[in-house]
Amino acid sequence: MATANGAHLFNHCGSNSRFIHFTSRNTTSKLFLTKTSHFRTPKRSFHVNNILTDKIHHPITEQGGESDLSCFSPDAASITSSIKYHAEFTPVFSPERFELPNAFFATAQSVRDSLLINWNATYDVYEKLNMKQAYYLSMEFLQGRALLNAIGNLELTGAFAEALKNLGHNLENVASQEPDAALGNGGLGRLASCFLDSLATLNYPAWGYGLRYKYGLFQQRITKDGQEEVAEDWLEIGSPWEVVRNDVSYPIKFYGKVSTGSDGKRYWIGGEDIKAVAYDVPIPGYKTRTTISLRLWSTQVPSADFNLSAFNAGEHTKACEAQANAEKICYILYPGDESEEGKILRLKQQYTLCSASLQDIISRFERRSGDRIKWEEFPEKVAVQMNDTHPTLCIPELMRILIDLKGLNWNEAWNITQRTVAYTNHTVLPEALEKWSYELMQKLLPRHVEIIEAIDEELVHEIVSKYGSLDLNKLEDKLTTMRILENFDLPSSVAEFFINPEISVDDDTETLEVHDKVEASDKVVTNDEDDTGKKTSMKTEASAEKDIDKKTPVSPEPAVIPLKKVRMANLCVVGGHAVNGVAEIHSEIVKEEVFNGFYELWPEKFQNKTNGVTPRRWIRFCNPPLSAIITKWTGTEEWVLKTEKLAELQKFADNEDLQNEWREAKRSNKIKVVSFLKEKTGYSVVPDAMFDIQVKRIHEYKRQLLNILGIVYRYKKMKEMKAAERKTNFVPRVCIFGGKAFATYVQAKRIVKFITDVGATINHDPEIGDLLKVVFVPDYNVSVAELLIPASDLSEHISTAGMEASGTSNMKFAMNGCIQIGTLDGANVEIREEVGEENFFLFGAQAHEIAGLRKERADGKFVPDERFEEVKEFVRSGAFGSYNYDDLIGSLEGNEGFGRADYFLVGKDFPSYIECQEKVDEAYRDQKRWTKMSILNTAGSYKFSSDRTIHEYAKDIWNIEAVEIA
Q: Which helix (H) or strand (E) holds 248?
A: strand 243-254
Distance in angstroms (rounded) separating the CA atoms of residues 402 and 420:
13
Greatest CA separation for the chain: 108
- Return left, alpha or beta for 409; rule: phi > 0 is left, psi -120 to 50 is alpha, else beta: beta
Contact criterion met (CB below 8 Å) for 795 and 840: no
Distance in angstroms (rounded) separating the CA atoms of residues 415 and 736:
51
- Using a 10 angstrom Cβ sphere, with 0-12 exposed, 13-18 middle and 19 or more buried, the burial of residue 666 is buried
Annotated active-site residue 753? The verdict is: no
The active-site residue, picked from 299, 610, 681, 808, is 808
Distance in angstroms (rounded) separating the CA atoms of residues 57 and 71:
11
Give, rounded to a whole angstrom, the gap between the first and last alpha carbons of the chain: 35
What crossing angle do the helices spanning 76-89 and 100-129 adopt, rounded to 10°?
Answer: 100
**CA 322 from centroid of its chain's CA atoms:** 31
Annotated active-site residue 702? The verdict is: yes
Q: Which helix (H) or strand (E) holds 389?
A: none
Annotated active-site residue 812? The verdict is: yes
Contact criterion met (CB below 8 Å) for 722 and 739: no
Distances (CA, A) of 77 to 293, 768, 954: 30, 54, 41
| DSSP notation for 320-336 | THHHHHHHGGGT-SS--
CB atoms under 10 Å from CB of 413, counted, come to 21
Distance in angstroms (rounded) separating the CA atoms of residues 941 and 610:
13
* CA angle, residues 696, 698, 699, in degrees to nearest 5: 115
Question: In this structure, are strands 819-822 and 421-424 parallel, antiparallel, or unpaired?
Answer: unpaired
Contact criterion met (CB below 8 Å) for 565 and 435: yes
Distance in angstroms (rounded) separating the CA atoms of residues 251 and 18:
40
* CA angle, residues 87, 88, 93, in degrees to nearest 5: 60
Annotated active-site residue 900? The verdict is: no
* Alpha-helix runs per DSSP H in 648-735: 656-681, 704-719, 723-729
Q: What is the DSSP letter of 734?
A: E
Distances (CA, A) of 705 to 198, 229, 370, 788, 810: 35, 21, 59, 20, 18
Annotated active-site residue 716? The verdict is: no
CB atoms under 10 Å from CB of 519, counted, come to 12
Distance in angstroms (rounded) separating the CA atoms of residues 458 and 569:
17
* Residue 819, SS3 per DSSP: strand
Annotated active-site residue 722? The verdict is: no
- Return left, alpha or beta for 203; rule: phi > 0 is left, psi -120 to 50 is alpha, else beta: left
The active-site residue, picked from 749, 812, 854, 872, is 812
The residues that bridge with 219 in the sheet, in sequence order, are 230
The active-site residue, picked from 112, 145, 696, 908, is 696
Distance in angstroms (rounded) separating the CA atoms of residues 927 and 662:
11
The amino acid that residue 76 corresponds to is A
Contact criterion met (CB below 8 Å) for 652 and 823: no
Residue 800, phi then psi, degrees to nearest 5 = -60, 125
Nearest to 609 by CA among 580, 578, 650, 634: 580
Distance in angstroms (rounded) separating the CA atoms of residues 558 and 562:
12
The active-site residue, picked from 697, 699, 740, 773, is 697
The active-site residue, picked from 670, 702, 740, 750, is 702
Distance in angstroms (rounded) separating the CA atoms of residues 447 and 393:
12
For the chain, how big is the Rg over CA atoms in Å?
A: 31
Distance in angstroms (rounded) separating the CA atoms of residues 778 and 46:
47
The amino acid that residue 613 corresponds to is V
Distance in angstroms (rounded) separating the CA atoms of residues 498 and 484:
19
Annotated catalytic residues are: 426, 696-697, 702, 808, 812
